[in-house]
Amino acid sequence: MPSGIGIGEVSALLTVLFTCLITIANILMWLSTRRTIQLQVASAQSLNYQSLIQSHRELMFGLISHPETLQAFALANGFDRDQWRLQILSTFFINHAWMHFVIFDHEKFDHVHLESFKRDAQEMFTWPSIRERWHQAKISYPKNFRNFVENEILIQPPGSRNR
């Protein structure tokens, strides 16, 4: 028999080769599964935020949509009804920006659209009632959103004017 590689060596070499391929495939599947789980967690968090804001919006909008109830509530709590209504509406706008931020932060939208959102938010935050409400309520928002608003939204964009 000529000297060379025998069937046993070929079998062992193929076993090692296939074991390496299967190991690489398992690692790739694990990485893919890990990314899928991260996206599912981010999606669940985003849906939870949206649910909280939606319930807040329904509660407050229901209150300001019923003038008698709003008046009674404002009197009972020493609020100026019209000022409080404006404060609620301003909070709706801030929460709207927060939801966009959460979605972008969790990479649910293409970041190409982030600059458009930032320009819209910069415009919105120039409105006096929004800016005033932000300064009153910003402590209630997560730190990452506060930093985003303070460092990227409240800056004056090039070519803009003060109101």
What pTM, to 2 d.p., does this model score?
A: 0.66
Q: What does pLDDT average to over the chain?
A: 86
DSSP state letters, 66-129: -HHHHHHHHHHHT--HHHHHHHHHHHHHHHHHHHHHHHHHTT-S-GGGHHHHHHHHHHHTTSHH
pLDDT tens across 93-140, in order? 999 899 888 888 776 666 677 888 888 999 999 999 999 999 999 999
* pLDDT at 1 exceeding the cut of 70: no
pLDDT tens across 19-30, in order? 999 999 999 999
